[in-house]
C-alpha cells in the first residue's frame, strides 16, 4: 500500500502519520509496514538536540497505526465510507520493551500479528525492527468504534 492508500484508512496526517508504506498484509493475521526515519522529523528538534533519538512512544504509535490498518483491512465487506465513519481506539499497551535506540537514517519496520480478535476488539503482537534487529516490542489491544 502506498501513502495515499494508507491515508484513505487512517485519519492521521503529517506530522503524525507514522507509516510510509505497507509492504505486506494478510487480513485477520498480520501486516508488515515501515517508516523511514529522517533527520527532518519535527520530533528531533527537542528529542534530543545534538543526539537525535526517535522516541519510544512514537515507535509504539507507529505499531498502533499499522495495527489499525490491519484491523480495517480485515473487516469484511467494508467500504471507504464505512471506514471514514469509524476509528480505532487503543485500549491498552502491555509488555512494552525498548531494546535499541532508533536514529535518523533507520528504516523502522513494523511487524504486527493478530493474537486474537473478538468482534470489534483486537489484541496484537507488535515488533519494531531495524536492520533485522528487534528494537522494540509491545502487545496492543484496540477497538474499532463509530466516530
Mean pLDDT, contiguous 10-residue spans, the chain (147 residues): 94 95 97 97 93 98 97 81 85 97 98 96 98 98 92
Residue closest to 41 by CA, chosen among 90, 99, 108? 108
In the annotation, is 111 catalytic? no
Query: According to the model, what pLDDT value does residue 77 have?
Result: 62
How much is the pLDDT for 7?
95
- Say if residue 4 is exposed, middle or buried (CB neighbours under 10 Å; 0-12, 13-18, 19+): exposed
CATH number of 3-146: 3.10.129.10
What is the chain's Cα-based Rg?
15
- List 42, 47, 51, 111, catalytic entry: 47
Residues 6+ apart with CB under 8 A from 124: 63, 67, 70, 112, 113, 114, 115, 139, 140, 141, 142
Domain assignments of the chain as residue spans, ordered by start? 3-146
Alpha helices in the chain (DSSP H): 3-7, 56-74, 80-84
- Cα angle value 136/141/146 (rounded, 5°): 130
Amino acid at each position: 500500500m502506498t501513502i495515499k492508500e494508507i491515508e484513505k484508512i487512517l485519519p492521521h496526517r503529517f506530522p503524525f502519520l507514522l507509516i510510509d508504506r505497507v509492504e505486506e498484509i494478510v487480513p485477520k493475521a498480520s501486516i508488515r509496514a515501515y517508516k523511514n526515519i529522517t533527520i527532518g522529523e519535527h520530533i528531533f528538534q527537542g528529542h534530543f538536540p545534538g543526539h537525535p533519538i526517535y522516541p519510544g512512544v512514537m515507535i509504539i504509535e507507529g505499531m498502533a497505526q499499522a495495527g489499525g490498518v490491519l484491523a480495517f483491512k480485515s473487516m469484511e465487506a467494508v467500504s471507504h465510507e464505512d471506514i471514514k465513519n469509524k476509528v480505532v481506539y487503543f485500549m491498552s499497551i502491555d509488555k512494552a520493551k525498548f531494546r535499541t535506540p532508533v536514529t535518523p537514517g533507520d528504516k523502522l519496520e513494523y511487524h504486527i500479528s493478530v493474537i486474537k480478535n473478538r468482534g470489534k476488539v483486537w489484541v496484537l503482537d507488535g515488533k519494531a525492527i531495524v536492520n533485522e534487529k528487534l528494537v522494540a516490542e509491545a502487545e496492543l489491544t484496540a477497538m474499532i468504534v463509530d466516530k
